[in-house]
C-alpha cells in the first residue's frame, strides 16, 4: 500500500477507504460509456474528513474525482482507466442538518439523496421543487455540481436558482464556510455561483443551504397530443397565459420516443393514441382543486379550438398523475435498454425549436434512412433531449463508432447557428469537452482556464473534465 493510501486509511478508518475488491459501482458511469479503474475509493463521513482527503491528495499530487450518486450522463463522476485517480464518494455524508421554516430554507450534506431532501422539506410542510428521474439515487452535491435542471425549472429554476449557500472544500483542503441562508448578500465575487455547475473541477461541495417553497394544495397533470411541435409551442403559450405561475411542468415526447417505451417497457400504460407529439403538462395550484381543474380544462378547450391540440386526458388521481410522469421519465431507461445511442441535451429559444427539429429530422433521415430520433424533454425551458438511435436492425456499437462524430457535427452546427447551447442541463464532463473547446466563446474559455488555474493550480480536481 502506498504512503498516501496508508495515511488515508489512518485518517478515515476501514469504512472510509475501499482499496481493491469489487469497486465497479464507483468505476463505471450510469451509461456504461466510460469504464474506469480507481486507485481507491475514499468515503469520508464529515467535512473535516473531506478536507483531510484533499490535503493529503494535494500533498501527493494525486487526482481526485468527486462522486455523488454517479447518475451523471457525461462521464464526469468516474475515474479514467489509469488506476491513478482517487474517487471521493460523498455517499456517507447524507445528513439533513437543519430545516428553517421561517426562512423557508434547508441545509443538507452533499451526499443526501435528492428524494430524501424532498421528503425532509415535505415533513416540515414545505416544498423542495428540484425533481428529476434520477432523484432516487442522485445527490444534492451532484445536482449542484452539474446545476441540474429537471421537470420543475419552468416555475422554480435550476439547482442554481434554488441555492442560497454552500460549504466547499478547496483543492488544497481548506474549508469555505458559505452556508448562509441569506437571500441578499452583495459582498464581493459570487463564489457560490462559481462552484455551482463546475462539475467537481473547482472544489468539493460538502453541504448546501437550499430554498423551500409553500406546498401546492393541488397538482393536476394532463397528457395531450399535438400534430406538430409548433402546435405544442402554441399550447405552451396558451398554458402560460391562462395558468401563469401555476404552470409547473411542460414536457414533450415525440412519437418515436413513446414507441420505444412501448417496445422496451410494454407494461407501462399509454393512455392516448400515438401522435406526432405528446405533451405532459402540470398545474400546481395554491387555492383549491376545483380552481386548478377549471383553469386546466379551460385551457385545453381553448387549445383544441385553436387547433393546437388533438386529444387530451386529465389524471383523475395522484396515482394516474404519477403514471403519466413515469411514462415521461421512463424514456431514458427504455433507451438504455435498447443499447447505446447518441445523446444531445440542447437548448434554443422555444420559438426556434420547431424549425430546428423539422430541419434536423429531415437532414438525419437523408444522412441515414431509417435513423431513429428519440426526441423528448422540457419544452417549457427550450430544452430537448434530441437523441439519435441506430436504425432497427443496426448494432448500436457499430452505429456509434461510424456515425457519432458526423451526427454530433450536424446537430451542434445547427444549434450553434441558431444561438443555442450544446449542453442545457447535463454538463460537459468528458463527453463534450472537445466540443466545448471549439464551440465556446474563446474569451469565455480563457477566463474559465484562468479560474481553474487560480482555484486548482496543481490540476488535481477532476482533471480532463470540462476544460
Ligand atoms: P454524479 O453523477 O456522482 O456526479 C456528477 C458530476 O458532479 C461529476 O462531475 C462529479 O465529479 C461532480 N460531483 C458530484 N458530487 C460532487 C460534490 N459533492 N462536489 C463537487 N462535485 C461533485 N439531469 C438534469 O439536469 N435534468 C434531468 O432531468 C436529468 N434526468 C436524469 C435522468 C436519469 C435517469 C439519469 C440517470 C440522469 C439524469 N440527469 C438529469 C443527469 C444529472 O446530472 C444527474 O442525475 C444528477 O444531477 C447528478 O447527481 P449525482 O449525485 O448522481 O452526481
Ligand atoms: Zn432532462
CA within 13 Å, CB half, 230: 5
Nearest atom of ligand 1 to the alpha carbon of 148: 25
Nearest atom of ligand 1 to the alpha carbon of 195: 20
Q: Where do the H-state alpha helices sit in 125-215?
A: 140-145, 153-156, 159-162, 191-195
Fold: same for 218-332 and 339-426: yes
Task: Return the residue matching grid coordinates 426526441.
Answer: 375
How far away, in angstroms, is 431 Cα from ligand 1 center?
Answer: 14
Mean pLDDT of all residues in 4-12: 98
Give residue 284's pLDDT band: very low, low, confident or very high (50, 70, 90): very high
Residues near ligand 1 with C-beta < 6 Å? 30, 65-73, 76-77, 90, 110, 132-134, 138-139, 141-143, 145-146, 148-150, 199-200, 204-205, 332, 425-426, 429, 462, 465
Give, rounded to a whole angstrom, the gap between the first and last alpha carbons of the chain.
Answer: 32
pLDDT(286) > 80: no
Mean pLDDT of all residues in 46-60: 98
- Burial (Cβ within 10 Å: 0-12, 13-18, ≥19) of residue 102: exposed
Give residue 218's pLDDT band: very low, low, confident or very high (50, 70, 90): confident
Tell me the per-residue pLDDT of 414-467, one tens digit each, with 9 for 90 and over. 999 999 999 999 999 999 999 999 999 999 999 999 999 999 999 999 999 999
Mean pLDDT of all residues in 72-100: 97
Question: For position 217, what pLDDT does the model report?
Answer: 87
CA–CA dist 153, 130 (Å, integer)? 8
Question: For position 39, what pLDDT does the model report?
Answer: 98
Beta bridge partners of 114: none
Asked whether 211 and 163 are in contact (CB, 8 A), the reply is yes
Domain boundaries, the chain: 2-89, 96-214, 218-332, 339-426
Tell me the per-residue pLDDT of 355-393, one tens digit each, with 9 for 90 and over. 999 999 999 999 999 999 999 999 999 999 999 999 999
- Residue range 96-214 in CATH 3.30.465.10: yes
Tell me the per-residue pLDDT of 109-127, one tens digit each, with 9 for 90 and over. 999 999 999 999 999 999 9
Q: What angle do CA 38, 43, 44 make, to 5 degrees?
A: 135
- Burial (Cβ within 10 Å: 0-12, 13-18, ≥19) of residue 90: buried
pLDDT(1) > 80: no
Question: For position 440, what pLDDT does the model report?
Answer: 95
Question: For position 228, what pLDDT does the model report?
Answer: 97
How far away, in angstroms, is 77 Cα from ligand 1 center?
Answer: 8
Task: Return the residue matching grid coordinates 381553448.
Answer: 302
Mean pLDDT taken over the chain? 96
How far away, in angstroms, is 15 Cα from ligand 2 center?
Answer: 34
- Mutate which of 53, 91, 132, 329 to test ligand 1's pocket (most atoms within 8 Å of Cβ)? 132
Q: Where do the H-state alpha helices sit in 137-218?
A: 140-145, 153-156, 159-162, 191-195
CA–CA dist 239, 288 (Å, integer)? 18
- Mutate which of 51, 66, 72 to test ligand 1's pocket (most atoms within 8 Å of Cβ)? 72
The fold for domain 218-332 equals Alpha-Beta Plaits (3.30.70)
Q: Whose CA is nearest to atom 47 of ligand 1?
A: 143
Q: For residues 199 and 32, which has the higher predicted lDDT (pLDDT)?
A: 199
How far away, in angstroms, is 241 Cα from ligand 2 center?
Answer: 24
Tell me the per-residue pLDDT of 32-44, one tens digit each, with 9 for 90 and over. 889 999 999 999 9
Question: For position 318, what pLDDT does the model report?
Answer: 87
CA–CA dist 145, 114 (Å, integer)? 13
Q: Which ligand approaches the C-alpha of residue 345 most closely?
A: 2
Asked whether 179 and 191 are in contact (CB, 8 A), the reply is no
CB-based contacts of 301, cutoff 8 Å, min separation 6: none
Question: For position 89, what pLDDT does the model report?
Answer: 98
CATH number of 2-89: 3.30.43.10
The fold for domain 339-426 equals Alpha-Beta Plaits (3.30.70)
Amino acid at each position: 500500500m502506498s504512503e498516501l493510501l496508508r495515511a488515508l486509511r489512518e485518517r478515515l478508518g476501514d469504512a472510509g477507504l475501499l482499496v481493491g475488491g469489487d469497486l465497479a459501482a464507483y468505476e463505471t458511469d450510469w451509461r456504461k460509456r466510460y469504464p474506469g479503474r480507481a486507485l481507491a475509493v475514499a468515503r469520508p463521513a464529515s467535512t473535516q474528513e473531506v478536507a483531510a482527503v484533499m490535503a493529503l491528495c494535494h500533498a501527493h499530487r494525486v487526482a481526485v474525482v468527486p462522486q455523488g450518486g454517479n447518475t451523471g450522463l457525461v462521464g464526469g463522476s468516474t475515474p479514467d482507466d489509469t488506476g491513478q485517480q482517487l474517487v471521493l464518494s460523498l455517499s456517507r455524508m447524507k445528513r439533513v442538518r437543519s430545516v428553517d421554516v421561517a426562512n423557508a430554507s434547508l441545509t443538507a450534506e452533499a451526499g443526501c439523496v435528492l428524494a430524501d431532501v424532498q421528503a425532509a422539506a415535505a415533513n416540515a410542510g414545505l416544498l423542495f421543487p428540484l425533481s428529476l428521474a434520477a432523484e432516487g439515487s442522485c445527490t444534492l452535491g451532484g445536482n449542484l455540481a452539474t446545476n441540474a435542471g429537471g421537470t420543475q425549472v419552468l416555475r422554480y429554476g435550476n439547482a442554481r436558482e434554488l441555492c442560497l449557500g454552500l460549504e466547499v472544500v478547496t483543492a488544497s483542503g481548506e474549508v469555505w464556510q458559505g452556508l448562509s441562508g441569506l437571500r441578499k448578500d452583495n459582498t464581493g465575487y459570487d463564489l457560490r455561483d462559481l462552484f455551482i455547475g463546475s462539475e467537481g473541477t473547482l472544489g468539493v461541495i460538502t453541504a448546501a443551504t437550499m430554498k423551500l417553497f409553500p406546498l401546492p394544495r393541488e397538482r393536476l397533470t394532463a397528457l395531450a397530443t399535438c400534430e406538430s411541435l409548433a402546435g405544442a409551442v402554441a399550447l405552451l403559450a396558451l398554458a402560460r397565459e391562462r395558468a401563469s405561475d401555476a404552470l409547473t411542468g411542460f414536457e414533450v415526447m415525440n412519437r418515436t420516443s413513446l414507441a420505444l417505451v412501448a417496445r422496451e417497457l410494454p407494461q407501462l400504460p399509454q393512455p392516448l393514441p400515438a401522435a406526432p407529439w405528446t405533451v405532459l403538462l402540470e398545474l400546481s395550484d395554491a387555492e383549491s382543486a376545483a380552481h386548478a381543474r377549471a383553469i386546466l380544462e379551460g385551457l385545453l378547450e381553448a387549445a383544441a379550438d385553436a387547433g393546437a391540440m388533438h386529444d387530451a386526458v386529465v389524471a383523475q388521481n395522484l396515482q394516474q398523475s404519477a403514471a403519466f410522469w413515469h411514462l415521461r421519465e421512463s424514456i431514458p431507461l427504455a433507451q438504455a435498454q435498447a443499447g447505446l445511442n447518441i445523446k444531445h441535451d440542447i437548448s434554443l429559444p422555444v420559438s426556434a425549436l420547431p424549425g430546428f427539429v423539422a430541419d434536423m429530422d429531415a437532414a438525419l433521415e437523408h444522412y441515414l434512412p431509417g435513423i431513429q430520433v428519440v426526441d423528448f424533454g422540457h419544452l417549457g425551458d427550450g430544452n430537448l433531449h434530441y437523441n439519435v438511435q441506430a436504425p432497427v436492425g443496426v448494432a448500436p456499437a457499430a452505429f456509434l463508432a461510424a456515425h457519432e462524430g458526423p451526427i454530433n457535427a450536424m446537430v451542434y452546427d445547427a444549434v450553434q447557428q441558431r444561438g443555442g447551447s450544446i449542453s442545457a442541463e447535463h454538463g460537459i464532463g468528458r463527453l463534450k469537452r472537445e466540443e466545448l473547446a471549439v464551440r465556446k466563446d474563446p474569451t469565455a474559455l480563457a477566463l474559465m482556464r484562468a479560474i481553474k488555474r487560480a482555484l486548482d493550480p496543481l490540476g488535481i480536481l477532476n482533471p480532463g473534465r470540462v476544460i
